Amino acid sequence: MSCDVELHNVRVSYDAFCALEGIDLCIQHGEALGIVGPNGSGKSTLLKTIAGLLRPERGTICVFGTEPRRLPRGTIAYVPQVEAVDWGFPATVSDVVAMGRFSHLPWWRRFGPTDRALVDEAIDAVGMTPMAGRHIAELSGGQQQRAFIARALAQQPRLLLLDEPTTGVDAATEEALRLVVRGVVGRGTPVLMTTHDLERVDEWFDRLMVLDRRTLALGTPDEVAASGAYSAIREHTHTHGHLRVDHDPHEGHEAHPEVRV
């Protein structure tokens, strides 16, 4: 079976720092892949590279049979871990989610009732309907995250990339997000999602990738658990006393705006 997303021997570097090495991956239609690994393991870098925001130094990436940067508009929706936007920007939740439709609207097409309906539907899917008219600065961190996920849903992408969407959200929101992700996957859209949370991975994902600059394990959650590959990560997080590890300098490096292509 052919792959929707295919990486072959991919290496990504920031100047002298090698963030990813020898990555091979095949994501099939309607598959949810969870990516776990310690901070600085290259999880965000992997998503950014598949999104076409970073160019691999070596190896090939094919998304729906072509390079990410040559895909038609609106193919990929990417939700970064930390949105580096200006929270004072004059936009409501509804305005932000509407941007998800923009990639499908060339200048001669107007924002029509279908677009409006998709925006409302996406806002509803993340449980933000009561907040739709609020300015983005008036939202909590978790609500902001949900607004950006709604924007990705409104885009109706063929590939969805989520970077740590569950960080800092409460249990109810997390469950709502899980249902959203499973719904997207159920419609055939592959989803790649990074997470620090190793609980219930089998309910979120079809397959799991354990990453630490290289692929440590790749398989169903059960297979990966049996391989013992992420017991290392489990221990790593447990020695820090919690599951979600604090920021480490490499993550900051990844978020550096100057390294964009």
Partner 1 sequence: MIHALLAPFAYAFMQRALVAACIVGILCSMMGTYVVLRKLAFIGDGLAHASFAGIVIAYLRNIDYQLGAAVVAVLTALGIGFVHRKGKVSLDTSIGVLFTAAFALGIFLMSRQTRYTLDLQSFLFGDILSVTRGDLIFIVVVSAAVFIAAMLAFRDMLFASFDPVVAEAAGLPVKWLDYGLLVALALTIVVSLQSVGIVLVAALLVTPAAAAYQLAKRFTPMLLLSAAFGVTSTVGGLYASYFLGSSSGATIVLVATLLFFIAVALKRLRPA
Applying CB under 8 A, the residues found at the interface with partner 1 are 51-53, 71-80, 83-86, 88-92, 95-96, 99-100, 102-103, 105, 107, 111, 135, 148, 151, 155, 157, 161, 258, 260
Joined together, the tokens standing for residue 164 give: 């740590």
Tokens read off for 184: 């997207």
Query: Residue 60 belongs to what H/E stretch?
Result: strand 58-63
**Dihedral Cα 21, 159, 123, 140, nearest 10 deg:** 0
Task: Tell the smallest beta-carbon distance from residue 258 to partner 1 (Å).
Answer: 5
Of 71 and 232, the one with the shorter C-beta distance to partner 1 is: 71
Q: How far is the CB of 256 from partner 1 (least distance, A)?
A: 10
Nearer to partner 1, 1 or 107 (CB): 107
Among candidate residues 204, 183, 180, the one with its CA nearest the CA of residue 193: 204
Residue closer to partner 1, measured from CB, 99 or 243: 99
Please give the Cα distance from 34 to 199 (Å, whole number): 12
* Nearest-approach distance from CB 26 to partner 1, in angstroms: 21
Q: Where are the alpha helices (DSSP H) in 65-140?
A: 93-102, 113-125
Residue 89: CB minimum distance to partner 1, A: 5
Q: How many CB atoms within 10 Å of residue 77? A: 25
Pairing of strands 214-219, 207-212: antiparallel
Rounded to a whole number of angstroms, the minimum distance from the CB of residue 157 to partner 1 is 8
Query: Encoding tokens for residue 91?
Result: 């936009």
User: Which residue number, 1 or 261, has a Cβ lying nearer to partner 1?
Assistant: 261
The residue type at 186? G
Residue 62 or 105 having the CB closest to partner 1: 105
The distance of closest approach from Cβ of residue 241 to partner 1 in the complex, given in angstroms and rounded to an integer, is 32
Q: Which is nearer to partner 1, 76 or 139 (CB)?
A: 76
